[in-house]
């Protein structure tokens, strides 16, 4: 995968943590497809010309509240919490 990645035009950029998709479309349209594997995707209804600083602030706040697992399950990320919730029924 590194050999393929090194030939992309975006090879010098870090993988994005957050991708904001405007227009309400639930797809990436092949945008940063290779480097977006573990990116968080936020879909907003506004069109790009109407997207403003307040919308960006809201997106960053929402992103900050997400549990980033990078392809793992919650049980793999937080094994002690999952084990205790199985025995007590609480999270």
pLDDT digits (tens, 9 = 90+) for 49-82: 999 999 999 999 999 998 888 777 888 888 876 5
Mean pLDDT of 1-22: 84
Which domains are present in the chain?
2-88 (3.40.1180.10)
CB 42 within 8 A of CB 20: yes
**DSSP character for 50?**
G
Query: What global pTM score does this model have?
Result: 0.69
């Amino acid at each position: 995968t590194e050999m393929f990645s090194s030939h992309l035009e975006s090879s010098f950029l870090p993988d994005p943590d957050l991708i904001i998709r405007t227009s309400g479309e639930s797809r990436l349209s092949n945008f940063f497809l290779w480097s977006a594997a573990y990116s968080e995707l936020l879909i907003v209804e506004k069109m790009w010309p109407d997207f403003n600083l307040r919308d960006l602030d809201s997106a960053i706040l929402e992103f900050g509240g997400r549990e980033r697992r990078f392809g793992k399950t919650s049980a793999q990320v937080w094994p002690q919490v999952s084990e205790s919730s199985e025995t007590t029924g609480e999270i």
